[in-house]
Amino acid sequence: MTGPGTGPVTIPADEVPFDPTVGWRKSPSVALRPEPFGALVYHFGNRKLSFLKSKPLVAVVKALEAHPDVASTLRACDVPEAQHPAYVTALATLSRSQMIERRTP
């Protein structure tokens, strides 16, 4: 990306738009610790701690790598269609904090 008359512009990872039409995965630098409410998520690189407050969301995060995009992951995890927008929002938040990342071919 370039800015007008300024040359290349770097977009920080937390500002890159989340694209649910591509493949995602849990970052290799992230550990999930199961909890009764869902899971603790810790990123060893940036030292961020997050909470996944539902077991179905934990299942989605774990399943991301096995599916070509977010919609197919949600279907495989039996997330009701009406809840898909909320899950996409949650995954976008995890993306901004680098807990999940785009898969590269």
Question: What's 81's domain CATH number?
Answer: 3.90.930
In a 3-state reduction of DSSP, which class is residue 7? strand
> Is 16 contained in some domain?
no
> Is 104 contained in some domain?
no
> Is 4 contained in some domain?
no
What's the total number of domains in the chain? 1
Residue with tokens 């949600």: 74
User: If pLDDT is split at 50, 70 and 90, which confidence band does 28 have?
Assistant: very high
What pTM did the predictor assign?
0.83
**Cα(9)–Cα(59) distance, integer angstroms:** 36
- Which domain, by its residues, includes 48? 24-99
> Is 18 contained in some domain?
no
- Over the stretch 81-104, which tens digit does the pLDDT of each residue have? 999 999 999 999 999 999 999 998
Collect all residues with Cβ–Cβ distance below 8 Å to 42 and sequence separation of at least 6.
30, 31, 33, 48, 49, 50
Quick one: what percent of the chain has pLDDT higher than 90? 82
> Is 6 contained in some domain?
no
